[in-house]
Amino acid sequence: MRSQRRIPLHFSDASREAATHTNLSAVRRDGPCLWVAGDETATIERLTAVSDTDGRVTGYGAELSVRLADLVDLPAGPDAEADIEGLARADGWLWAIGSHSLKRRKPKPDHSPAKARKRLASVVREENRYILARLPLTTGDDGLPRVVREDGDRTAAVLGGQGDSLADLLADDPHLAPFLAIPSKDNGLDIEGIAVIGDRVLVGLRGPVLRGWAVLVEIAPEPHSHHPGRLRVRPLDDDDGPRHRTHFLDLGGLGIRDLCPHGDDLLILTGPSMDLDGPVRLVRWPGARHAAPHGLVTADDLEQVGELPHGDGCDHAEGIAVLSDGELLVVYDSPAADRLTADGGVLADIVRLSG
């Protein structure tokens, strides 16, 4: 899939200082705006479309930054990074999910061999990564979408931080439990996509990939009846049923990097589960909204839309958003130098999406 054109995303000085523009991990369209997130902060950013005289979108800017800690309680405090890897918008809500991943420390070039070995043995759990947040969307006086803490009887709420995270829910899962103690870049648990379909939330895993099969986790979060500001996960089918369901997808050995509903279909951005550059592919799951919950999606059930470009140590496609019929926006982590504009912007790709 070749880029039809590139458009700049412009961020505030504060976001550029925090390197949000070079660590983009999630994007979702909301009318004339984009909701985007970087994986090094605990914020979500709103960018607004800039159009030419013909109404064609030529870029996004006028950033509004939203601190998650102003909306929900974060387990590790307001400033520790949440590693937001997925955004979804549905039925007046914005959803945000952290990676739920352990982190293995990375050796630095100036480290001695002994220090490098020591860092490679160090695994860290950062609690703000283990959250799923549901935030009310409203329309401001300027006609643009806003996220708020409360809107009537709707309240921002979070899952995680009290022994109730999605990782805790998976502790007894026969396929995924063995991977919960493994860092993300070692094929451990690593969430990188979210899509909301009806009352169900689909969570896409970059890892683990199990003998070539990628994993989607299906849950049904709901407001906690006794604790405003909290979510809980209810049984999927009946009061005594399971609280999650796993779906296995044959993505040719690749993991899931993002999910994006498109009509009744689900677009899946795929890429390596390990710390590698490529390949990166866009896959369509036709009719995913009405798919039977048998949990196994073969290659014959999927449509290969095309391959996306990737660099050598750069240009890692991390987020996709449908802009309009036939156009898909792609944002990148670690953008190549030619994506950085002289006025402080970063270039996203617009690719043609058929069907």
What mean pLDDT is predicted for residues 207-226? Answer: 96
pLDDT band, very low/low/confident/very high, at 277 (cuts 50, 70, 90): confident
Separation of alpha carbons 187 and 345, rounded Å? 33
Strand, helix or coil at 158?
A: strand
The burial class, CB within 10 Å (0-12 / 13-18 / 19+), for 156 is buried
CA distance 225 to 111: 51
Q: How far apart are CA 260 and CA 255, in angstroms?
A: 15
Q: Are strands 3-9 and 346-352 parallel, antiparallel or unpaired?
A: antiparallel
For residue 301, is pLDDT > 60? yes
Task: Give the mean model confidence (pLDDT) for residues 146-152.
Answer: 97
Q: Which of 187, 239, 241 is nearest to 218 (CA)?
A: 241
CA distance 334 to 11: 16
For residues 113-134, average pLDDT: 94
Q: Which residues contact 311 (CB under 8 A, 6 or more apart)?
A: 277, 334, 336
Residue 236 has pLDDT above 80, yes or no: yes
Q: Is the pLDDT of residue 284 over 90?
A: yes
Q: Looking at the DSSP assignment, which residues form a beta bridge with residue 145?
A: 139
Q: What percent of the chain has pLDDT over 70?
A: 99
Contact 46, 35 (CB under 8 A): yes
Specify the DSSP class assigned to residue 285: E
Element (H, E) at 113: helix 113-120
Per residue in 161-172, pLDDT (tens digit) is 999 999 999 999
- The alpha carbon of 11 is separated from its chain's Cα centroid by a whole number of angstroms, namely 19
Tokens encoding 34: 């984009």
CA angle 295, 354, 313 (to 5 degrees): 75
Which residues are CB-contacts of 276 (< 8 A; sequence separation ≥ 6)?
none
Average pLDDT over residues 125-150: 97
Q: What H or E segment, with its residue span, contains residue 327? A: strand 327-333
Note the pLDDT of residue 276.
Answer: 75
Task: Note the pLDDT of residue 354.
Answer: 72
Tell me what percent of the residues of the chain surpass a pLDDT of 90.
85
- Separate counts of helices (H) and strands (E) for the chain: 3, 28
So what's the pLDDT on residue 355? 54
Name the average pLDDT for the chain. Answer: 94
Name, in order, each residue with C-beta under 8 angstroms of 323's C-beta and a sequence gap of 6 or more: 29, 57, 329, 350
What is the edge-to-edge ordering of all strands in the sheet holding 213-219? 190-197, 200-210, 213-219, 245-250, 296-297
Residue 330 pLDDT grade (very low, low, confident, very high; cuts 50, 70, 90)? very high
pLDDT of residue 135: 98
DSSP letter at 179 equals G
- DSSP conformation letters of 206-261: EEEEETTEEEEEEE-EEE-SSSTTBEEE--SSSTTS-S-EEEEEE-TT-EEEEEEE
Q: Look up residue 226 and give its two tokens.
A: 């006794």
According to the model, what pLDDT value does residue 353 have? 87
DSSP 303-318: EEEEEE---SSS-EEE
Mean pLDDT along residues 326-344: 93
CA 136/CA 132 separation, integer angstroms: 14
Task: Please tell me the distance from the alpha carbon of residue 339 to that of residue 159, in angstroms, as a whole number.
Answer: 36
Domain range spanning residue 135?
3-352
Taking a C-beta distance cutoff of 8 angstroms, is the pair 188, 180 a contact?
A: yes
19: left (phi over 0), alpha (psi -120 to 50) or beta: left
* For residues 244-250, average pLDDT: 96
pLDDT at 209: 96
Helix (H, G, I), strand (E, B) or coil at 300: helix
Q: Which of 62-76, 145-159, 312-326, 331-345 has the lowest mean pLDDT?
A: 312-326
**What CATH number does the domain containing 138 carry?**
2.120.10
Provide the domain count of the chain.
1
Structure confidence at residue 295 (pLDDT): 81
- Helix, strand, or coil (residue 89): strand
